[in-house]
Structure 1
Amino acid sequence: MNNYKTVSESQTTMTELMIPAYSNFGGKIHGGIILSLMDKAAYACAAKHAETYCVTASIDTVDFRASVEVGEIISLLASVNYVGNSSLVVGIKVLAENVKNHQVKHTNSSYFTMVALDEQTHAPIQVPGLVLENAVQIQRFITAMHRKELNRYYREEGERLKSVFKSQDVLDTLKKERCIIKTS
């Protein structure tokens, strides 16, 4: 299996203590800090798989499930879920542990699409294929394929609506929503 890698070859875990400087005005860890750490974990995982520099192309839905407290230790679990030609989808799961009572909670999940770039030309380059070794890995790969298809549909639908947004059918759908249309 030339130029293929297993999921486990690039799986990455990053761990960091949440310090007071990371907190927001509400005393919880700022969501931007969590996002930045998730991006670092996605990069580390993607770069290990691609064996080259990678950039973040998109972040698909960041779910904030629970707040993170100062003093907790977070672990960011990153895994390549899907590979295309030059892109990789890295799933990130964030767990926070209270070191005093050993309670662990799932705080965040997201999917980062990363693109591998040639370090000289900065052009996208092909990444190794992915060896799927169990049902969970197969399910994650297929789910990522479907998410990619849905995102393409949403982009195309958004473009289509730009050209028809003034039609009565489209405007009628807004009558049930909490908005007022004021156009010239």
Structure 2
Amino acid sequence: MQAKNPKDSLVIMNELVLPNDTNMMHNLMGGRLLYWMDIAAAMSAQKHSNRLVVTASVDNVSFQKGISLGDAVTIEARVTRAFNKSMEVRLDVWAQNIPSGTKEKSNEAYYTFVALDEAGKPVAVPEIAPETEDDHIMYSGALRRRQLRLILSGRMEPSDATELKALFMAAKHDV
């Protein structure tokens, strides 16, 4: 299976915040944004794996800036690293007020997807071949993020998290 570049999985999705998408303060409801993010991330993972995918995990999503009624929402998603049968997808969300010309970052997150075969069983996915400096940064941090997800889900013992231990041990020796 030939490796793919992160740019090959890039998805840019745009939505307009309409009244039905908002809360009583006329801001985009968080659940609606998470729904849109899941769709964009799934498309990215599907482009990378050429398979149907299911969401395995959603990392912490912090809302840095509210998104208002009438704003255009742009969600950029791309695969940062592929493991055996799973893929980490980075999402960046932007809110744009088109009449005023302002565009601000609203939030970012990492989602994990598993690719499935025709029988619905997990299947191997192509590796990622980072190209840009940003690709390399995202790629190198993905193993630490994966180990943290596995620890938090109870599927890995903290003592087995070699990348996280190395990170903390390096910080301890630097002091």
Distance 1:4 1:124, change over 3 A: same
Instruction: Give per-residue Cα distances to partners, 1:39-83, cap 9 Å, x unaligned.
Output: 000001000000010000000111111000010101000011111
Q: 1:87 is matched by which residue type in structure 2? A: S
Counterpart CA distance in 2 for 1:58 and 1:19 is 28
Q: 1:17 is matched by which residue type in structure 2? A: L
Could you list the runs of 5+ residues in structure 1 that have no partner in the other structure?
161-184
Distance 1:72 1:151, change over 3 A: same
Aligned match of 2:2:
3
Identity percentage over the alignment? 30
Counterpart CA distance in 2 for 1:132 and 1:50 is 16
Counterpart CA distance in 1 for 2:151 and 2:59 is 14
Aligned length: 158
Counterpart CA distance in 2 for 1:158 and 1:9 is 31
| 1:121 corresponds to 2:119 | yes
Correspondences of 1:47-58 after superposition (within 5 Å)? 47-58=46-57
Distance 1:30 1:131, change over 3 A: same
Aligned match of 1:25:
24
Correspondences of 1:84-95 after superposition (within 5 Å)? 84-95=83-94
Q: CA deviation at 1:158?
A: 10
Could you list the runs of 5+ residues in structure 2 that have no partner in the other structure?
159-175
TM (norm. structure 1) is 0.81
**Matched position secondary structure for 2:79:** strand
Counterpart CA distance in 1 for 2:51 and 2:157 is 34
TM (norm. structure 2) is 0.85
